[in-house]
């Protein structure tokens, strides 16, 4: 299965092209309890939450964000001639393993990042026709001339060994526990 992730090229921030269609990804980095009842998102109020929201913005309405980005992407694809028949869906991904997500089962497009692989493996049909898949890939992938140039210093830094910083035992235990899940 070939999957392409495109970031910040289309009107949607993150677009995932799979053999079954396009996914617009809404990324959230919230922690703690996050609930969605089908209409409303909520989080308990705390000083930590207020501080996080002040620095990063609040949770907002990720499902509405996703729907708006899907509409923008479809409007962007329409003049290019692609995407008329392609299914475009939104996924809401929570990246922090510390989040406790409470969502009704029918909203399976709202998940933790670690659940994304399983979700994509379960949703493999119906596959897009080959010509439509290639047309979508061409539409959402930046042309070679628009690719971001990498400075020589950036390339050297990217090739260098990563710096490993010592962590506390608590963080190490959390990291091991999240890897096991």
Helix ranges (H only) for 10-115 are 47-56, 62-77
Residue-level pLDDT at 70: 93
CA-nearest of 81, 87, 77, 89 to 26 is 89
Residue-level pLDDT at 58: 66
Burial code of 100-118, b = ≥16 C-beta within 10 A, e = fewer?
A: ebebeeeeebbbebeeeee
What is the dihedral sign for C-alpha 59, 60, 63, 67?
A: negative
Whole-number Å distance between alpha carbons of 115 and 92: 11
Residue-level pLDDT at 165: 46
Residue-level pLDDT at 50: 67
Residues 136/17, Cβ–Cβ less than 8 Å:
yes
Q: Does pTM top 0.85 for this prediction?
A: no
CA-nearest of 88, 123, 110 to 37 is 110
Q: What is the pLDDT along the chain (181 residues), one digit of tens a residue?
A: 577 788 888 888 899 999 998 999 999 888 888 889 888 887 776 666 666 665 666 678 899 999 999 999 988 888 766 656 678 999 999 998 888 988 988 889 999 999 999 999 998 878 888 888 888 888 888 876 555 444 444 444 444 444 444 445 566 667 777 777 6
Whole-number Å distance between alpha carbons of 156 and 151: 9
Q: What is the signed CA dihedral for 110, 113, 115, 120, rounded to 10 degrees? A: 80
């Amino acid at each position: 299965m070939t999957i392409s992730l495109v970031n910040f090229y289309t009107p949607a921030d993150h677009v995932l092209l799979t053999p079954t269609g396009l996914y617009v990804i809404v990324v959230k980095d919230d922690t703690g309890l996050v609930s969605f009842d089908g209409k409303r998102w909520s989080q308990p109020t705390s000083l930590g939450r207020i501080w996080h929201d002040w620095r990063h913005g609040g949770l907002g309405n990720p499902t509405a964000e996703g729907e708006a980005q899907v509409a923008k992407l479809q409007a962007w694809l329409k003049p290019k001639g692609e995407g008329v028949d392609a299914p475009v869906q939104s996924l809401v991904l929570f990246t922090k393993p510390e989040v406790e997500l409470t969502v009704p089962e029918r909203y399976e497009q709202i998940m933790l990042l670690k659940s994304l692989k399983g979700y994509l493996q379960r949703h493999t049909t119906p596959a897009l026709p080959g010509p439509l898949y290639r047309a979508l890939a061409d539409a959402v992938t930046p042309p070679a001339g628009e690719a971001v140039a990498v400075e020589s210093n950036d390339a050297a830094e990217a090739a260098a060994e990563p710096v490993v910083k010592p962590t506390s035992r608590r963080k190490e235990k959390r990291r091991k526990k999240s890897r096991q899940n």
